[in-house]
Structure 1
């Protein structure tokens, strides 16, 4: 997990200060090389980590050390970065009057594309690449979302296609044209965070079609009340966990919603958690451990999440921890490394069912109690998992000490 401490103000001006770029390894943060100015975006690709600086261009890190600083086409304000599956690096140039979208091919050559729409202050920030290699760009000062398809070859502009999504029916139906963040979920849907909540674009493959769908606004239900998801919140960050649930950073803390956004599952703020600030600017999730990292202006904190990335088939090693479960332990027991969304049963050696659940992505959790609410007897228990086809197998054993 990499992190950077940028310090761009609400006016989107670089502070001129320098901050470390760090990586989380073996339980501690380690600074990587020299400090760099105002890093506000990070991306990994081609064995490198790229840091986008708001005033210093792009820094490339290899093996933990900075090896290159570039100001592509003279652009030094980098709003967002994304590496595609073909080994190309894409970047947005915040405030540039032309060539706001930058592209570095595998040969190391830079090219630029000018957005053919009006953008207030030429502001473009985060960039996301969808399942169809299309580029989605957030315009945080009122330009909505810009979508670009470069056609057969990125270096040939003749078959480029562009589209702008704004608020209002027939124009994109965003909840607000002030777009702060983008995320792609496990269904390929694009989740769009704005100054007035979240919109979801469900037909990325048809975004340029004449009859393409418009942004859908999820409705969340709480008791007898129903309303648009985060309609009164500025959504600053969205992250998708292994169970396709959405973690949302706002100026009112961090939230966890169900996969479709219809239910609020968790809400962390300074009053009920160690969160150092209620303005959560970035959220990132470790896909292996499920740990959720919250970035704020007053520091970084993490929470051990329940969902991890699941595999397509049950073939790898399954980790159960703690194992053995010591006497007096009252925490949760995790089963990690499962096939995605597996059905999990825990039985005694005779086959009597003690507990069953469904994994969140690739991890299932158990509170250590059976269906009667009591802690099981000391002994060896079997952990069985079945995939979507119903094929079941023993994946691990668990020792319980009462």
Structure 2
């Protein structure tokens, strides 16, 4: 045993990668409603969703999840299996990647041999099935069979067993009577070879047992069962097919487990013993409204994976036949828009294309995350509002939320209940033409007075305001800029409420549109003369200096002078130029930018279509972080939306494959110092935070929270000796100066060092806080014990 452990450690340090656990700063919110595969072992079942796994202890009922936060890749999972002999879980992906999760230490080993094999087409690397036998795993793929040695943690031979050694799809393999059988697709039949043959890489050593198409093959004791594409399950006797049963539909999963054969159809599961005697059955019912995808058996219960309800456990109770096993999570992984605030996160799934085409319409629900629990509200509870997208939370009544529908108008939610659907019949919203009944509603945002500003595509007055307190609507015409509102503009994706009556809107055909609702003046930025890289603007954000950050499908721009935009006869935007290896370079040149958000410290979070997330300093000159699926828990580099909870500083990222968040620590400043406090307090020896260097790691350091926008803080010992000092907008965490004490929005972080770079001694330390604008002061104490 010691020898095997030593070898495993050596293997992990060599050519394979051990994934990193990101759970200290990151959280994941993955959907487990759709189950791709299921397996069991060591008194647990393991269920794989689209790109995450959860385990369920059949005795304690404990559920644990395994996601990108723990180190999974975030790719599309195709199959899983658990090895009781080696106490590990193998996860196969559509891409050819294999990940091995060790029970002993929860480490994840990424096996990339198939993924990176250049001689095999990427379209053929799909992992179809794992079959473990005597320490070897026979991996069925779309190109053939590969062998993986669990003792050595390395690959052996690969068998291309098609005619002439061609690559063919292998669905499953089975070991029977010292031979390996392969169930093949595309008319390649059932193939066989002797395990005693040392030359199985030679396709000529494989024989065809019978022609046809075979989705599955399983060994059960002294029997070999084969599923044919014609819905017939056979027993293979002396290499002859002996038909046993014809199912009404093709089984989606056939699995031999614990001396039982489990056959799963879309609506039924059948459990047989070795002699094919039926022992148990399970069937869907109208109350569940789901389809079965896979199943396993353990401790007298069938566990069934579904396409919309997680895992069902049979109970043996006729009135309540199933127990639902489902971890907390949103209803889907592909959130289109998200909105965070006051500790609550909203997510919608009703998308539209880049060119603002809502077809096909999406009849999907929404998800609300509150106090670590998800409320997944189904479509039939949302007044039939389709393509729900942008979310606006009423700042004066956070329980009231307005969700844009890119087909049906605006949905008002109160206490997470749909109450009103605003359309052309009960509001100031308009349809384009009498024969075009769609209200293409997208961008929306509340102003500081509690008025909702929103954009409708394909109408003459696209900009609308709605005051919930008075129920008054008002529309603003864009005809001066857009003469043909049906054909000259595809849609509006973002709206930002500025100062002095300015509203900033991103457009597909007309660039950035600035509209002053006080003076009814309009102007836009869209051409090369104005330094715009394209007229397709995809994201907007206004920082505390009133500078407009503009994301386009071809790069980033900034409008520095927003105050005089309307009166400026020739407004232009600027690129951000940085030095990269001493060479001036345009920041995010040619990048398709999907979203821009600005945190409480004026730092910029920028999402892209295929390059992950960038986190820049307020002026864009320094890259604080660049998160991708390779160096972070992002399940995809395609970012749909970003939202920041200004109270906690947590940043949420919606991607094409899941939702995650990062604790940045950049909270929104307070109006006064009344709520300022220090934590942890006291700082005990076991809380090893003193002397660390990275102030961006907010799990470390002595934090002071509840600060106002512009403060100076002096830290002294009890005798009044100055230990450290920081000032807002000067001593920033992102600075390359490597400060010992820095302020980020409403939060300051101190690494416990003095000006000389030495860790301070035990004692009481005073934080002397002064607001440089209001002259408000506050003194806080912290006890440090070393």
Contact 1:199/1:217, CA 8 A, preserved across alignment: yes
Task: Spell out, residue by residue over 1:290-338, the C-alpha distance to the aligned partner (whole angstroms, 9 max, x if none).
Answer: 111112122221111132222354x312122222223232423321111
- Note the residue ranges of structure 1 that are not aligned, 5 or more in a row: 152-158
- 1:168 positional shift: 1.8
Among 666, 676, 682, the residue aligned to 1:324: 682
- 1:42 positional shift: 1.2
Contact 1:341/1:362, CA 8 A, preserved across alignment: no
Contact 1:342/1:362, CA 8 A, preserved across alignment: no
Q: Matched residue of 1:203: which SS? A: coil
What is the aligned partner in structure 2 of residue 155 from structure 1?
none
What is the aligned partner in structure 1 of residue 580 from structure 2?
222
Q: Per the alignment, do residues 361 and 161 of structure 1 end up closer, same or farther by CA in structure 2, a change over 3 Å counting?
A: same
What is the aligned partner in structure 2 of residue 56 from structure 1?
408
Q: Per the alignment, do residues 201 and 320 of structure 1 end up closer, same or farther by CA in structure 2, a change over 3 Å counting?
A: same
What is the aligned partner in structure 2 of residue 156 from structure 1?
none
- Note the residue ranges of structure 2 that are not aligned, 5 or more in a row: 1-339, 424-428, 432-437, 690-699, 726-740
Q: Per the alignment, do residues 381 and 20 of structure 1 end up closer, same or farther by CA in structure 2, a change over 3 Å counting?
A: farther
- 1:147 positional shift: 1.8
Q: Per the alignment, do residues 371 and 392 of structure 1 end up closer, same or farther by CA in structure 2, a change over 3 Å counting?
A: farther
What is the aligned partner in structure 2 of residue 147 from structure 1?
514
More off after superposition, 336-345 vs 5-14: 5-14
For 1:235-274, what aligned pairs fall within 5 Å after superposition? 235-251=593-609, 252-274=611-633
- 1:58 positional shift: 0.7
Distance 2:715 2:582 in 1: 37
Q: Per the alignment, do residues 216 and 322 of structure 1 end up closer, same or farther by CA in structure 2, a change over 3 Å counting?
A: same
Q: Per the alignment, do residues 65 and 164 of structure 1 end up closer, same or farther by CA in structure 2, a change over 3 Å counting?
A: same
Task: Spell out, residue by residue over 1:367-400, the C-alpha distance to the aligned partner (whole angstroms, 9 max, x if none).
Answer: 3444555543333322222333696955322222
Distance 1:288 1:195 in 2: 31
Q: Per the alignment, do residues 387 and 112 of structure 1 end up closer, same or farther by CA in structure 2, a change over 3 Å counting?
A: closer
Contact 1:243/1:360, CA 8 A, preserved across alignment: yes
What is the aligned partner in structure 1 of residue 386 from structure 2?
37
For 1:251-330, what aligned pairs fall within 5 Å after superposition? 251=609, 252-313=611-672, 315-328=673-686, 329-330=688-689
Distance 1:387 1:40 in 2: 40
What is the aligned partner in structure 2 of residue 179 from structure 1?
537
What is the aligned partner in structure 2 of residue 115 from structure 1?
478
Among 522, 525, 531, the residue aligned to 1:165: 525
Q: Matched residue of 1:270: which SS? A: coil
What is the aligned partner in structure 1 of residue 134 from structure 2?
none
Distance 2:534 2:662 in 1: 30
What is the aligned partner in structure 1 of residue 713 from structure 2?
344
What is the aligned partner in structure 2 of residue 66 from structure 1?
418
What is the aligned partner in structure 1 of residue 240 from structure 2?
none
Q: Matched residue of 2:430: which SS? A: helix
Contact 2:551/2:557, CA 8 A, preserved across alignment: yes
Q: Per the alignment, do residues 390 and 66 of structure 1 end up closer, same or farther by CA in structure 2, a change over 3 Å counting?
A: closer
What is the aligned partner in structure 1 of residue 275 from structure 2?
none
Contact 1:206/1:212, CA 8 A, preserved across alignment: no
Q: Per the alignment, do residues 215 and 345 of structure 1 end up closer, same or farther by CA in structure 2, a change over 3 Å counting?
A: same
Larger radius of gyration: 2
Alignment partner of 1:378 is 2:762: yes
More off after superposition, 44-53 vs 290-299: 44-53
Distance 1:139 1:11 in 2: 10
Please, what TM-score do these two structures have when normalized by structure 1? Answer: 0.87
Q: Per the alignment, do residues 393 and 127 of structure 1 end up closer, same or farther by CA in structure 2, a change over 3 Å counting?
A: closer
What is the aligned partner in structure 1 of residue 371 from structure 2?
26
Q: Per the alignment, do residues 147 and 10 of structure 1 end up closer, same or farther by CA in structure 2, a change over 3 Å counting?
A: closer
What is the aligned partner in structure 2 of residue 196 from structure 1?
554
Root-mean-square deviation (CA), in Å? 2.7
Q: Matched residue of 2:528: which SS? A: coil
- 1:52 positional shift: 0.8
